[in-house]
């Protein structure tokens, strides 16, 4: 992994600045009781762009990642919704075998926007992942997923995703009423951005392609290390 600590362009204090081609980690903390606050998703990515206004990264096909699974190894999505967030969990290392994912995040937005393609670079959709604004550290960014998401399609239509999981997270106490209200407000703000066709949907990222000379980042052994300090 490479990275440069210091100050971003234009003298804006950022704590960490990365150059195109740098390898960093995109991580999420778990809200489940037995893993509270621990890293349960870790994805090595390549920096595409890092400016005061936008961080964009590429997760290449074949990238080894960390994902949550149930204690017996069952994939989380196969567990019935009623016990999905209370059944004991652990993590496992596994490769991302789908097409690559481009992730875009503005510093203070409580969401990131992911771009998906089918094979042959046929653009499929944007995915608005509602989450805590990312905290930056020397090796990457950390966040916490907020369960509720939005799919956005090339014809500019959109739909809510995972509303059942969002409701279940509240029922089992992973999200209190105040946070749930904030997540809904963030979702409404994202929808306003979509319906106005603002950034990043209007920015042409669906035509972007990765540098063919980039290596696939390697998942380090200390992928779950605690950073010495973080900045937003």
The backbone torsions φ and ψ at residue 58, rounded to the nearest 5 degrees and listed phi first, read -120, 125
d(C-alpha 155, C-alpha 53), whole Å: 26
Cβ–Cβ < 8 Å for 123, 134? no
d(C-alpha 20, C-alpha 43), whole Å: 17
Q: Which domains does the chain have, with CATH numbers?
A: 4-11+20-204 (2.40.380.10)
pLDDT in tens, the chain (232 residues): 333 333 233 233 345 789 999 999 999 999 876 666 899 999 999 999 999 999 999 999 999 999 999 999 999 999 999 999 999 999 999 999 889 999 999 999 999 999 999 999 999 999 999 999 999 999 999 999 999 999 999 999 999 999 999 999 999 999 999 999 999 999 999 999 999 999 999 999 999 999 999 999 999 999 999 886 777 7
Q: 3-class DSSP state for residue 117?
A: strand
Cβ–Cβ < 8 Å for 66, 59? no
**CA triplet 182, 223, 232: central angle to 5 degrees?**
35
Neighbour tally for 85: CB within 10 Å: 22
Chain-centroid distance of CA 152 in Å reads 16
d(C-alpha 79, C-alpha 72), whole Å: 11
């Amino acid at each position: 992994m490479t990275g440069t600590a210091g100050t971003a362009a234009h003298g804006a204090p950022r704590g960490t600045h990365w150059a195109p081609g740098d390898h960093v980690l995109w991580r999420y903390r778990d809200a489940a009781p037995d893993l509270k606050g621990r890293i349960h998703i870790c994805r090595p990515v390549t920096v595409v762009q890092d400016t005061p206004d936008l961080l964009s990264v590429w997760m290449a096909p074949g990238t080894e990642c960390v994902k949550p699974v149930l204690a017996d190894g069952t994939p989380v999505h196969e567990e019935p919704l009623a016990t999905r967030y209370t059944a004991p969990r652990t993590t496992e290392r596994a490769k991302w075998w789908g097409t690559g994912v481009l992730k875009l995040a503005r510093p203070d937005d409580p969401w990131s926007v992911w771009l998906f393609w089918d094979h042959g670079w046929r653009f499929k959709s944007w995915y608005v992942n509602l989450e805590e604004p990312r905290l930056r550290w020397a090796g990457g960014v950390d966040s916490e997923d907020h369960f509720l998401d939005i799919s956005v399609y090339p014809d500019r239509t959109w739909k809510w995703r995972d509303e059942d999981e969002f409701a279940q997270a509240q029922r089992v106490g992973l999200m209190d009423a105040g946070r749930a209200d904030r997540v809904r407000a963030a979702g409404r703000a994202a929808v306003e951005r979509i319906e106005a066709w603002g950034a990043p949907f209007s920015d042409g990222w669906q035509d972007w392609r990765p540098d063919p000379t980039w290596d696939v980042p390697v998942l380090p052994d200390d992928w779950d290390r605690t950073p010495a300090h973080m900045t937003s």
